[in-house]
Amino acid sequence: MNQTLLQLDGLSKSYPGVIANDHVSFKIGSGEIHALLGENGAGKSTLVKMIYGLVRPDTGRMQLGGQSFAPSEPRAARAAGIAMVFQHFSLFEALSVAENIALGMEKPPKSSALSMQITKVSHTYGLPLDPERLVGDLSAGERQRVEIIRCLLQDPKLLIMDEPTSVLTPQEVTTLFTTLRKLKSEGTSILYISHKLEEIRTLCETATILRNGKKVATCDPRENSARQLAEMMVGATLNYAKARTVKLGEVILKASNLSLPPQSAFGTSLKNISFQLHKGEVLGIGGVAGNGQDELLACLSGEVLTSPNAIQLNGNNVGHLTPNLRRALGILAAPEERLGHAAAPDMDLTENSMLTAMVRKKLSSAGFLNWKQAREFAQRVIDEFDVRTPGPQSVARSLSGGNLQKFVIGREVLQDPNVLIVNQPTWGVDAAAAAAIRQSLLDLASKGAAVIVISQDLDELMEISTRFAALNTGKLSEIQSMAKFSLDEIGLLLGGADAAG
Amino acid sequence: MLRVEKRPSPSKTWGYLAPILAVIATMIGGGMMFALLGKDPFEAIRIIFYDPLFSEFAWYYRPQLLIKGAPLILIAIGLSMGFRAGVWNIGAEGQYIIGALFGAGFALAVYPTESVFIFPSMIILGALGGFLWAMIPAILKTKFGTNEILVSLMLVYVAEQLLASMSLGLMKNPEGFGFPGSRNLQQYASAHNAELWIGSGVHMGVVFGLIAVIFAYVMLARHQLGFHIRLTGESPKAARFAGVNPNRLIIFCLGSSGALAGLAGLFEIAGPSGQVNIDFNVGYGFTAIIVAFLGRLNPFGIMLAGLLMALTYIGGEIAQSSLGLPSAAIQAFQGMLLFFLLAVDLLTNFKIKWAKTEIIV
């Protein structure tokens, strides 16, 4: 097709014990939307960091517009016309949009001129944004717009986007794609990193697939099915969780008018959340991060106490019970943040088993701990959930994200919960591990337990949920059977539209 | 180029080696300081580390090792619990003074009654005094979110004023010819914390120190409370998830360290010191902070570190008298120990590597 903008030639980068990139070569043409596809740990991040000047390659070379290109720092990359929108935003919540953008500029213009520029760019590209608003008040999608506009003000030749849709509702995704297509039509190249295959198939015309640091293919994603792409990514045939037919059992957990004031300045409050959870079902709770997911989990797990009757188990008040008292009753939870919340990073897996399993697995008597039994339990979790680690003596932070997540979920599942609440169970987990985790949740429900899955991943919720509700600004929509929803309706719910109808 | 790289898991070997290296580095650094002061560094180091144990007068110094080491160990064990959980009691010196005042105050009030119940009551009151003094920062922290470092430290100066007031007023010896200071408890048999064997240096404080070491070890390794303390230090959010009540933990950590510091103060005032007086406290409460870290917050490590620190105290005193080293130099020497320990500690969690970087353009 058209001329090459950026050419990578044999880029390699290794860290102690891992080869992050192994002689990766490909080209990005001008005005091309190029997908970079791969599982977690396949080397996508390292590769773009090399392009953006954050990491120096060990070997290999790059050419930008025919000139040799070796950025020593991001500033050099930006000067050469490369801009990047990171997955995690670096914005100050207490500052306005314009102030945040000015902070990232080398020579910011006067604030009035900058506001005009922001308004102009935001109109041109269909990204409505008021430069005077505080970032703390913006939704995740709006925050992303701030980052994109920050990049567009530099007039880049190549825009790198790292997992841009992971925090967006389907409607916001559509807006984003319109913007990206407009940019493309003006000749800007886009390097689009994602593991969401359908998106890539609708947006991109070329895809480079990485696996274990090596390039496995460059192809046209529109000519391949999502399944083919996934199998190239994983290098194996995939097993999807089996769909189940579920008859709802009796109500086991009930929340009535559960409310919680915000726990911090930019925290979310919970507003009158009511639901009934039945035995044998998986209740999917969708929503964009920051809409009360963490708070809901904390209320259900007992980390935050509420009025006694706000939460009932089998008709008994439990809202005032501490986490261990609830565990004794069979209410278990796995929070989103693996390291530092679900597990202590510098403690080994035996100690991390003790962390939640002390009560139900009877790992203590009269306050004295039985480490031998804890070690055996940790070993059982490792064996049954295929956690790849040398053994229970490994510290939690030495495990990869997917393996630690398998451990965290396995630790709760093997305690035979009556109710299990998980938040983002497969966030940042590779496809094979994610499938295994989802299957284990379904198996648990099949055995009669009730499961609540809080997730941002709609595909995941559609795959495993029996019933579904959306959490938006701390309010829970009406719960309905998953089968009744289309993707569009879910998108509207996540955006806060009423569920009626 | 030198590069620092995080280890996948903390190195056990370096955990043990670091304190030893720190002691060696302190000897070198301290030696240089002594040389700059115009003293023979080798002789100074020999006097500090060797003479108290093996010289001609070692029979006198060895018991001193236990007498000086016991309060350090007792206080440091208490502090280490809090330090592991991220609760920073810096005011052990104050709790030490108040514990001593509680115990001694009781003894002076009942003087000259003789009874076997007096000394045990003093022990309980000593622990209570330290506990109550530590409850001030604990309650302020849990109720109002104040910083326990500042509050506990400030209370040291309040305690010192109280000590001075007591020595000159309420507890002053009525038969003391107007000199400041209370009656000498060493001459009050029921209240005297005497050596259990004459000339051994072993008094009840040493026994309690040993018990505290064993107790702390069992609690940290085997008991739920110890596990929760470690968990809170590693990751407060995970601890909350595990069901730890952070406020209760703060109260426990400050309370137990206060009680142990109070005990140390009581054993000191009823034994080696003997008298409520303005210069009663000599900084054990602060030195114990160094002892706690030098001992890796590990009970047996603290025991060794306490004895080592006692050695530098005794050796330092000998060096002051025989070489004329200023006492500030000895304090700087002790401070170096903590400084080097924290520096060497880097190696436990990080690797130092020679990085080879080649950029091909």
Q: What is the DSSP string of B154-171?
A: HHHHHHHHHHHHHHHTTT
In 3D, which of B314, B191, B205, B180 has the Cα closest to residue B268?
Answer: B205
What backbone phi and psi angles, to 5 degrees, belong to A61?
A: -140, 160
- In the sheet that holds A67-68, the strands lie side by side as A18-29, A4-15, A59-64, A67-68
How far is the C-alpha of B265 from the C-alpha of B134, rounded, in Å?
Answer: 14
Confidence of residue A383 (pLDDT cuts 50, 70, 90): very high
Assigned domain for B144 exists: yes
A5-19, A89-103, B299-313, B344-358: least confident range: B344-358
- Give the minimum alpha-carbon distance from B223 to chain A in angstroms, rounded to a whole number: 4
How far is the C-alpha of B83 from the C-alpha of B101, rounded, in Å?
Answer: 26
Which candidate from A60, A335, A354 shows the least CB-CB separation from B241? A335
**Beta-sheet strands, E only, within A33-114:** 33-37, 59-64, 67-68, 82-85
Assigned domain for B340 exists: no
The amino acid at residue A336 is E
Question: A238 pLDDT exceeds 90?
Answer: no
- Ordered structural domains, chain A, with CATH: 4-234 (3.40.50.300), 251-494 (3.40.50.300)
Mean pLDDT of the A58-73 span: 89
Cβ atoms within 10 Å of A264's Cβ, excluding its own: 6
How far is the C-alpha of A274 from the C-alpha of A411, rounded, in Å?
Answer: 28
Question: B91 pLDDT exceeds 60?
Answer: yes
ipTM summary value: 0.83
**8-state DSSP, A405:** H
Angle at A100 between CA A98 and CA A105, to 5 degrees: 90
- Give the minimum alpha-carbon distance from A244 to chain B in angstroms, rounded to a whole number: 32
The number of distinct structural domains making up chain B is: 1
Q: Are B238 and A346 an interchain contact pair (Cβ–Cβ within 8 Å)?
A: no
Helix (H, G, I), strand (E, B) or coil at A21: strand
Question: A133 pLDDT exceeds 90?
Answer: no
Q: Are A56 and B222 an interchain contact pair (Cβ–Cβ within 8 Å)?
A: no
Question: B239 pLDDT exceeds 90?
Answer: yes
- Give the minimum alpha-carbon distance from B350 to chain A in angstroms, rounded to a whole number: 13
Which candidate from B9, B224, B227 shows the least CB-CB separation from A398? B9
**What is the distance in angstroms between the CA of the first residue and the CA of the last residue of chain B?**
20
- Give the minimum alpha-carbon distance from A378 to chain B in angstroms, rounded to a whole number: 16
Nearest CA in chain B to A350: B227
CB < 8 Å to B8, chain A: 395, 397-398
The amino acid at residue A340 is G
* Highest mean pLDDT, choosing among A69-78, A260-269, A350-359: A350-359
Whether cis (ω within 30° of 0) applies to the bond prior to B137 is no
Question: B31 pLDDT exceeds 80?
Answer: yes
CB < 8 Å to B145, chain A: none
Angle at B114 between CA B108 and CA B120, to 5 degrees: 75
In 3D, which of A183, A146, A139, A152 has the Cα closest to residue A31?
Answer: A183
How far is the C-alpha of B180 from the C-alpha of B163, rounded, in Å?
Answer: 11
Question: B58 pLDDT exceeds 90?
Answer: no
Q: Are A59 and B10 an interchain contact pair (Cβ–Cβ within 8 Å)?
A: no
Chosen from A9, A355, A404 to mutate, greatest number of chain B CBs within 10 A: A355
pLDDT tens by residue, A317-337: 999 999 999 999 999 999 988
Assigned domain for B222 exists: yes
Q: Are A340 and B242 an interchain contact pair (Cβ–Cβ within 8 Å)?
A: no
Helix (H, G, I), strand (E, B) or coil at B321: helix
Assigned domain for B123 exists: yes
Helix (H, G, I), strand (E, B) or coil at B71: helix
What backbone phi and psi angles, to 5 degrees, belong to A251?
A: -70, 130
Mean pLDDT of the A271-283 span: 93
Assigned domain for B344 exists: no
Confidence of residue A265 (pLDDT cuts 50, 70, 90): low
Mean pLDDT of the B209-227 span: 95
Confidence of residue A501 (pLDDT cuts 50, 70, 90): very low
Q: Are A352 and A395 in contact (CB under 8 A)?
A: no
How far is the C-alpha of B102 from the C-alpha of B128, rounded, in Å?
Answer: 8
CB < 8 Å to A56, chain B: 357, 359
Mean pLDDT of the B113-117 span: 93
Q: Which residues pair with A276 in a beta bridge?
A: A254
How far is the C-alpha of B266 from the C-alpha of B120, rounded, in Å?
Answer: 11
Confidence of residue A243 (pLDDT cuts 50, 70, 90): low
How far is the C-alpha of A355 from the C-alpha of A363, rounded, in Å?
Answer: 10
How far is the C-alpha of A455 from the C-alpha of A336, rounded, in Å?
Answer: 9
Average pLDDT, chain B: 91
* Side-chain-facing half-sphere of A397: CA atoms under 13 Å: 15
pLDDT tens by residue, A147-188: 888 888 888 999 999 888 777 777 788 888 988 999 899 889
The DSSP line for B11-67 is -HHHHHHHHHHHHHHHHHHHHHHHHHTTS-HHHHHHHHHTHHHHSTTHHHHHHHHHH
Q: Are A351 and B227 an interchain contact pair (Cβ–Cβ within 8 Å)?
A: yes
Q: Are A35 and A200 in contact (CB under 8 A)?
A: yes
**Which residues from A are below 8 Å from B when comparing CB atoms?**
16, 56-61, 68, 70, 301-303, 322-324, 327, 333, 335, 337, 340-347, 351, 354-356, 358, 364, 367-369, 371, 394-395, 397-398
- Give the minimum alpha-carbon distance from B293 to chain A in angstroms, rounded to a whole number: 18
Average pLDDT, chain A: 86
**Residue B297's CATH number:** 1.10.3470
pLDDT tens by residue, A7-33: 999 999 887 667 788 899 999 998 899
Q: Are A344 and B235 an interchain contact pair (Cβ–Cβ within 8 Å)?
A: yes
Mean pLDDT of the A434-443 span: 91
Confidence of residue A388 (pLDDT cuts 50, 70, 90): confident
Q: Which two tokens stand for residue A286?
A: 């969708």
Structural domain span for residue B141: 40-324
* Highest mean pLDDT, choosing among B20-29, B119-128, B277-286: B119-128
What pLDDT score does A242 carry?
Answer: 55
Assigned domain for B230 exists: yes
How far is the C-alpha of B47 from the C-alpha of B311, rounded, in Å?
Answer: 10
Cβ atoms within 10 Å of A457's Cβ, excluding its own: 18
What pLDDT score does A263 carry?
Answer: 78
* Side-chain-facing half-sphere of B126: CA atoms under 13 Å: 28
Indicate the pairing of strand A189-194 with strand A158-162: parallel
Give whole-number Cα distances, A127 to A112, A121, A146, in Å. 19, 8, 9
Give whole-number Cα distances, A276 to A256, A478, B250, in Å. 9, 11, 38
What pLDDT score does A500 carry?
Answer: 38
> How many contacts, defined by CB atoms under 8 Å, are there between A and B?
85
Q: Are A369 and B224 an interchain contact pair (Cβ–Cβ within 8 Å)?
A: yes
Cβ atoms within 10 Å of B321's Cβ, excluding its own: 10
Block residue for tokens 């500033």: A75
CB < 8 Å to B225, chain A: 367
The amino acid at residue B25 is A
Assigned domain for B9 exists: no
What pLDDT score does B346 carry?
Answer: 81
- Give the minimum alpha-carbon distance from A336 to chain B in angstroms, rounded to a whole number: 12
Mean pLDDT of the A236-246 span: 60
The alpha carbons of chain B give a radius of gyration, in whole angstroms, of: 22
The DSSP line for A379-391 is HHHHHHTT--SS-
How far is the C-alpha of A52 from the C-alpha of A45, rounded, in Å?
Answer: 10
In 3D, which of B215, B194, B228 has the Cα closest to residue B259?
Answer: B215
* Side-chain-facing half-sphere of A7: CA atoms under 13 Å: 9
Assigned domain for B17 exists: no
The DSSP line for A178-192 is HHHHHHHHTT-EEEE
Nearest CA in chain A to B349: A346
Mean pLDDT of the B341-352 span: 82
Which candidate from A61, A301, A346 shows the least CB-CB separation from B241? A301
Q: Are A337 and B237 an interchain contact pair (Cβ–Cβ within 8 Å)?
A: yes
Nearest CA in chain A to B360: A59
Question: B128 pLDDT exceeds 90?
Answer: yes
Confidence of residue A38 (pLDDT cuts 50, 70, 90): confident
Q: Are A60 and B223 an interchain contact pair (Cβ–Cβ within 8 Å)?
A: no
Q: Are B58 and B47 in contact (CB under 8 A)?
A: no
Which candidate from A70, A333, A345 shows the least CB-CB separation from B361? A70
- The fraction of chain B above a pLDDT of 90, given in percent, is 71
Q: Which two tokens stand for residue B246?
A: 């952070």
How far is the C-alpha of A317 from the C-alpha of A310, rounded, in Å?
Answer: 7
Q: Are B224 and A358 an interchain contact pair (Cβ–Cβ within 8 Å)?
A: yes
Q: Which residues pair with A480 in a beta bridge?
A: A468
How far is the C-alpha of B64 from the C-alpha of B71, rounded, in Å?
Answer: 12
Give kind and range of the element (H or E) at residue B351: strand B350-354
The DSSP line for B257-307 is HHHHHHHHHHHHHHTTS-S--TT---SHHHHHHHHHHHTTT-HHHHHHHHH
What pLDDT score does A241 carry?
Answer: 54
* Side-chain-facing half-sphere of A84: CA atoms under 13 Å: 24
In 3D, which of A25, A144, A161 has the Cα closest to residue A83?
Answer: A161
Question: A499 pLDDT exceeds 50?
Answer: no
Mean pLDDT of the B334-360 span: 76
Indicate the pairing of strand A214-219 with strand A282-286: unpaired
**What is the distance in angstroms between the CA of the first residue and the CA of the last residue of chain A?**
48
The residues, ordered by sequence, that sit 6+ positions from B280 with a Cβ below 8 Å of its Cβ are B97, B100, B163, B167, B268, B269, B273
Q: Which two tokens stand for residue B38?
A: 């115009």
